[in-house]
Structure 1
Amino acid sequence: MPAVHTDVDAPAPRTLKRQLGLPALIAYGLTSMGVLSVVSVYGPGTKISDGHLPAAYVLAVVIMLFTAHSYGRMAVHVPITGGAYAYTTRGFGQVTGFLTGWVMLLDYLFLPMVNFLLFGLYFNSLFTGISPWVGTLICLVIVAVFSVIGVGWIKRMNSVIVVLSILVIIAFLALAVVNAPHLSLAAVTTPLSIGEGGLGPIFAAGAIVAFAFLGFDGVSTLAEETKNPRRNIPRGIILSTLFAGLGYIAFTVAGSLIVPDWTTLTNLDAAGTELMQRAGGDALMVVFVIVNVTGIVLCGTAAQMSVSRVIFAMGRDGILPPALARLHPRFRTPVIASGIVSVVALVALFITLDQAVYMINFGALIAFAMVNLATIKVLFFDLKLRSGWGFVRHLIMPAIGFVSIAWLWTSLAWFTYVLGVAWLAIGVVVYVVRRKKAGGPLALQLDGAETEQMPVLQYQD
């Protein structure tokens, strides 16, 4: 009788530890976006919308929910770490998937930098005699340590800061109502309506405040660290986006109550701090600053963890050097990938906040657009999931999401496109070199099968 060969002695695949539930995913998504990030664009957004910022947030949350829906649908069928990289590879092949993952790295690489720069600015405001770059470096080191420790610790801290942020918002809402100069139904509904300028100012402000939602897609990169990912990842993405949007809308409505005439704000760039002070005095303002600074650290950590997971996935698939997929023996987190991201983050010491935001917008919106297209390609055309609500959920909704994101992408500054194209050119060179070294096409590997023959699950709602 011939011997039977088995793979018992074969090395186990490198996978991450599953330890996250739905509440942890929602908390992670909220901290990735920044529950209090609404304050950073309150002043400019109110000016552009001519006092109708809540209406702009309503528009933005609707647009983002369409894209969040696409992420959730794809997470059901591609429940692995990698986010937009994995989804686009499944839909359009390894080349398109790599380039999408490459521009997504741009988003994730610079998102922590924004938080480091913001921390430095707050640090300098508290300790005026110390340069902002000192605070930036302190935040960078803290985030680097947290990234190696892993999600086991971060999920607890995320939950705490989310609760504290929500309490600050609730306190602000209550105090804004109590101390509003003129409280009436009209005072609440007017900022939610279309002003004398029509839809133009609302759409213009919506293009800006939509960037407050950047980070929800980071939930999809935790698929291999999530319990029951096919159920929890889609819910985590949708619910974190929805909750953040509702919080943004409530905050801006309360802001319009406490300051009905936005032109009376003395400093639009620091409008959030001024709103807190007018509503609850110095006590609320100090609490807000402390919670916000802590949230900045955790938001940077969430972003850095996301990009290290994407690099881990690309290293495991051979598109980037395999050494990047090495795991910490105790925490089972990507060690080398996390270290590289920390080193790259040192760029934050030499760039401005505007430059970092430019790069984030380019990468994030391209990734969002590609996930919408991948949803149509994989679910509607490849798997033919068209019965019942399938036509709406797998064609109409992703199409609306793609068109909306494409419109936002055209609103970026010209400098963004220059930097983005340069980054893409570098990505092409990296891919060609890696492909030549591999001696053939580079494909995403799922459960030992190449992308083109990847098994999929039977669709169920």
Structure 2
Amino acid sequence: MSEVKLNRRLTGKELIVFGLSLMAPITIFTTFGIASEVTNSKVPIAYIFTALALCLTGYCYAQMVKAFPISGSAYTYVYRSVNSKIGFLVGWALLTSYALLPMINYLVAAIFLHSILPQIPYGFWIILLILLNTLINIKGTKMASWVNTLLLAYSFLVVIIFSILSIKYVVTDQAVSSLFTLTPMLGSGFEFSAIIAGASLLCFSYLGFDSITTLAEEVIEPEKTVPRAIYAVIGIGTFTFVAVSYFATLVQPSYLGFTNLDSAAVELVAMVGGNLFVSFFLAGTLIGCFASGLASQASASRVLYAMGRDGMLPKIFASLSPKYQTPVFNLLLIAGISLLSFVMTLTLATSFINFGALIAFLFVNISVVFYYFIKKKNRTFVSTIRYLLIPTLGSLFILYLLFNLDMISIIFGLSWGALGVAYLIYLVKIKGMNQISLEFSEEG
């Protein structure tokens, strides 16, 4: 009987849809009010700074997937280029990001649905969403990609309509020339420190480009396809974020004009499109949550699969369905974790996600230095820029963000890390995993 493996069937377009679905571009509206206050209504320029910084990390992900076109993302890169034990701890941290992200999406979606249909219990929506996403993911990445394409199309339709209505709103109220101004970027009240603070906040809007690499083992020609998809997701995301925040700032030039910063997006949508568009917008928010949950569950299951295959987790994590070639056990486990939606708050879950994501970003940058500059000895002038300077700059930016996380994120992140260290000690001391093979071939 032949060994069950992940099949290379995903194309570049499907990979881009996957990354954008997890990123959920429509979530720009979720953070707009708070970001406006932090940046003194200079959100577009903060997004540009964020994109420039994360392009460095995106570049490092692209370099590492060329070397290791397999599942596991940051865990795999650190495991195979730096150290197996450090790789495990990075994977352990990464799990907090991917495993809890579906739960946040279910939580937000359930809150929204319950507010519309209060007669239906809140928990019903959570269970229904978990079941739907799990069944779609079990069927395979092709089906998940098809569903995500439809959901993402609706989200972008909301973004496009908002932009058109915003332009109409501004032009009706002012001259056409008012559409072309640097005020949302560099107007009065510009403070560089505020822009950097905004960039730290908005960094998490880009979570999704990194998840592409978790599917590398299921992509056709991953060495070429995955890097292109990473750059495309960052580019499309940046264009969307900057454009929408620019138009939103033209509509409401000051955050002081919002009644409630948490619901600033709804106020904006009502201003430009009225109640009908508010309903259309809220449906888009719900769809974005569902699509992001679908993609993040798939990502988490592939990280668990890679760790199980390497012996860092019990072998059951490396099992695949003979029928669907998907890690069914892992998908069911993530579904079970998502049931924490009944008891965990958004603040607590977000704290775990922020810490885990930044740890992964940091060590992917470090992996490039270890693999290309130190191990491969690529030290020409150009190679030094590519494999030392760029990842070093990326690492410094991520470290800055780590040090500026709120205390809750740091405390819970370190607590989870301590559990990972305890489990690693068990693996090394009890199971004797001091020597871990780093060899891999797609043929097994």
Q: Which TM class, normalised by the smaller chain length?
A: over 0.9
Do the aligned partners of 1:65 and 1:242 also contact (CA within 8 Å) in 2?
no
1:295 matched residue in structure 2:
288
Q: Does 1:123 align with 2:116?
A: no
Partner of residue 144 from structure 2, selected from 134, 151, 154:
154
1:326 matched residue in structure 2:
319
Code of the aligned partner of 1:80: I
2:12 matched residue in structure 1:
22
Supply the distance in 1 between the matched residues of 2:70 and 2:118 (Cα, whole angstroms). 45
Supply the distance in 1 between the matched residues of 2:16 and 2:381 (Cα, whole angstroms). 29
Do the aligned partners of 2:4 and 2:321 also contact (CA within 8 Å) in 1?
no
Code of the aligned partner of 1:67: T
2:65 matched residue in structure 1:
75
Code of the aligned partner of 2:111: L
Do the aligned partners of 1:52 and 1:195 also contact (CA within 8 Å) in 2?
no
Task: Give, in angstroms, the shift of residue 428 of structure 1.
Answer: 1.7
Partner of residue 96 from structure 1, selected from 86, 101, 118:
86
Do the aligned partners of 1:29 and 1:241 also contact (CA within 8 Å) in 2?
no
1:213 matched residue in structure 2:
206
Q: Does 1:57 align with 2:35?
A: no
Q: Does 1:176 align with 2:166?
A: yes
> Could you report, residue by residue, the CA deviation over 1:2-59 in whole angstroms, capped at 9, with x for unpaired residues?
xxxxxxxxx7555201111111111111111112110110110011111111111111
Supply the distance in 2 between the matched residues of 1:215 and 1:18 (Cα, whole angstroms). 20
**Structure 1 gap ranges (5+):** 1-10, 450-461
Code of the aligned partner of 1:440: M
2:97 matched residue in structure 1:
107
Partner of residue 242 from structure 1, selected from 235, 244, 250:
235
Partner of residue 443 from structure 1, selected from 428, 436, 441:
436
Code of the aligned partner of 1:342: A
Partner of residue 430 from structure 1, selected from 414, 423, 433:
423
1:38 matched residue in structure 2:
28
1:309 matched residue in structure 2:
302
Supply the distance in 2 between the matched residues of 1:50 and 1:187 (Cα, whole angstroms). 19
Partner of residue 376 from structure 2, selected from 374, 383, 386:
383
Task: Give, in angstroms, the shift of residue 264 of structure 1.
Answer: 1.9
The 1:230/1:12 distance shift into structure 2, 3 A limit, reads: farther
Task: Give, in angstroms, the shift of residue 130 of structure 1.
Answer: 4.4
Code of the aligned partner of 2:314: P
Do the aligned partners of 1:320 and 1:434 also contact (CA within 8 Å) in 2?
no
Question: TM-score of the superposition, structure 1-length normalised?
Answer: 0.91
Supply the distance in 2 between the matched residues of 1:418 and 1:383 (Cα, whole angstroms). 37
Task: Give, in angstroms, the shift of residue 260 of structure 1.
Answer: 2.4
Do the aligned partners of 1:318 and 1:442 also contact (CA within 8 Å) in 2?
no
Code of the aligned partner of 2:242: I
Do the aligned partners of 1:188 and 1:257 also contact (CA within 8 Å) in 2?
no
Supply the distance in 1 between the matched residues of 2:128 and 2:32 (Cα, whole angstroms). 27
Q: Does 1:282 align with 2:275?
A: yes
Supply the distance in 2 between the matched residues of 1:382 and 1:118 (Cα, whole angstroms). 45
Code of the aligned partner of 2:328: V
The 1:371/1:252 distance shift into structure 2, 3 A limit, reads: same
More divergent stretch after superposition (380-389 vs 416-425): 380-389
Supply the distance in 2 between the matched residues of 1:29 and 1:443 (Cα, whole angstroms). 31
Supply the distance in 2 between the matched residues of 1:133 and 1:209 (Cα, whole angstroms). 30
Counting only pairs closer than 5 Å after superposition, residues 319-358 of structure 1 correspond to structure 2 as 319-358=312-351
Supply the distance in 2 between the matched residues of 1:386 and 1:246 (Cα, whole angstroms). 35
Question: TM-score of the superposition, structure 2-length normalised?
Answer: 0.94
2:388 matched residue in structure 1:
395
Do the aligned partners of 1:87 and 1:374 also contact (CA within 8 Å) in 2?
yes
> Could you report, residue by residue, the CA deviation over 1:217-255 in whole angstroms, capped at 9, with x for unpaired residues?
110000110000000011111211121111011110010
> Could you report, residue by residue, the CA deviation over 1:101-136 in whole angstroms, capped at 9, with x for unpaired residues?
000001111111111111122112212344544433
2:405 matched residue in structure 1:
412
> Could you report, residue by residue, the CA deviation over 1:385-435 in whole angstroms, capped at 9, with x for unpaired residues?
344632222121111111111111111111212111111111122223233
Task: Give, in angstroms, the shift of residue 267 of structure 1.
Answer: 2.6
Do the aligned partners of 2:4 and 2:325 also contact (CA within 8 Å) in 1?
no
**Structure 2 gap ranges (5+):** none
Supply the distance in 2 between the matched residues of 1:212 and 1:260 (Cα, whole angstroms). 22
Code of the aligned partner of 2:301: S
Supply the distance in 2 between the matched residues of 1:237 and 1:166 (Cα, whole angstroms). 19
Supply the distance in 2 between the matched residues of 1:135 and 1:213 (Cα, whole angstroms). 27
Code of the aligned partner of 1:88: V
Supply the distance in 2 between the matched residues of 1:321 and 1:434 (Cα, whole angstroms). 11
Do the aligned partners of 2:105 and 2:292 also contact (CA within 8 Å) in 1?
yes
Do the aligned partners of 2:155 and 2:287 also contact (CA within 8 Å) in 1?
no
- Aligned-pair identity (%): 30
The 1:12/1:393 distance shift into structure 2, 3 A limit, reads: farther
Supply the distance in 1 between the matched residues of 2:123 and 2:152 (Cα, whole angstroms). 27
1:86 matched residue in structure 2:
76
Supply the distance in 2 between the matched residues of 1:169 and 1:54 (Cα, whole angstroms). 15
1:374 matched residue in structure 2:
367
Code of the aligned partner of 2:17: A
More divergent stretch after superposition (69-78 vs 172-181): 172-181
1:364 matched residue in structure 2:
357
Supply the distance in 1 between the matched residues of 2:253 and 2:441 (Cα, whole angstroms). 60
SS at structure 2 position matched to 1:332: coil
Do the aligned partners of 1:187 and 1:257 also contact (CA within 8 Å) in 2?
no
